Amino acid sequence: MQQSKYRGSGIALGLVSALLPAALWAQTAPSPAATAAAPERDPEAIAALERMGASLRKLTSFTVTGDVTTEEVLDTGQKIQYAGTVEIKARKPDRLRLISNTDRKKRDFFYDGKSLTVFAPSLGYWATVEAPPTIREMLTRAKERHDIELPLADLFDLGQDPTLTAKLTSAFKVGVEHIGGLPCEQYAMRQPNVDWQIWIREGADALPCKMVITSTEDPSMPQYIATMKWNTTAPIADTDFAFKPPESARKIVIGSVNPR
């Protein structure tokens, strides 16, 4: 197999469009979003992001699971997809456990407010680094200092980063789709180097149902997609965030790309 020149981001989420015969296109009514020029920044789309952010900020403890698809671009330009799952258990402000699992790679992350531990079960290696006292600060430091990017980490920025909407050059509503049996409003966003879509539950519980992020820096425009299910009522114990290495596991050191 050709070597990959791009590997989809752990937090980027994508959807591949189907190529339909011309005769089928002729029989299919185009959507309003496809026939009309979308407003650059539709106030309804901005308001939807703010409602979703408010819903995410209200959560103090939750479990979210995601079915994810990652795209990888070969040197030939051909795109290959890989499927996997992600499970996040979080208790704000300082507890998080994330299990990322595919047939190619599995990683477990444990954060207890003081340290971040990364475990590779298939390889039998684990490592721990000191971490700041909140989930969002931990995610930022892991990325900037150790080049560790946790899958679906965007969920915490969507609820906390007030500058998110300022980055948008385009935002508009596409319509309503059912995701996991729930009606969700679909919105399309654009900002420098990234196109992304978000499906948000209708009603007061405005949690994200699905996310798509497309990298526009690469001409092949690789994508990554996650469809999410939320549980905001199940109790989460302290032991869920504690890592106990197997006897056969070997401790290693995580390098720093930015030692500051």
Under the banding of pLDDT at 50, 70 and 90, the label for residue 165 is confident
pLDDT tens-place string over residues 30-50: 455 544 555 699 999 999 999
Tell me: pLDDT of 25 over 70.
Answer: no
Report the C-alpha gap between 220 and 250 in whole angstroms.
Answer: 39
Of all residues in the chain, what percent carry a pLDDT higher than 70?
84
Return the CATH number of 4-15+37-251, one of 2.120.10.30, 2.50.20.10, 3.40.50.620, 1.10.3660.10: 2.50.20.10
Count the residues in the chain: 260
The per-residue pLDDT for range 72-109, each reduced to its tens digit, is 999 998 999 999 999 999 999 999 999 999 988 999 99
Span 57-64, average pLDDT: 95
Alpha-carbon distances of 232 from 60, 97, 207, 219, rounded to whole Å? 9, 15, 11, 39
For 130-136, the CB contacts below 8 A with 24+ separation are: 133/93, 133/94, 134/93, 134/94, 135/90, 135/92, 135/93, 135/94, 135/95, 135/96, 135/111, 136/160
pTM flag (> 0.75): yes
Distances (CA, A) of 136 to 55, 90, 156, 223: 17, 11, 7, 24
Q: Is the peptide bond before 93 cis (omega within 30 degrees of 0)?
A: yes
Model confidence at 159, pLDDT cuts 50, 70, 90, reads: low
Quick one: which H or E segment has residue 158?
helix 154-160
R_g (Cα) of the chain, nearest Å? 19
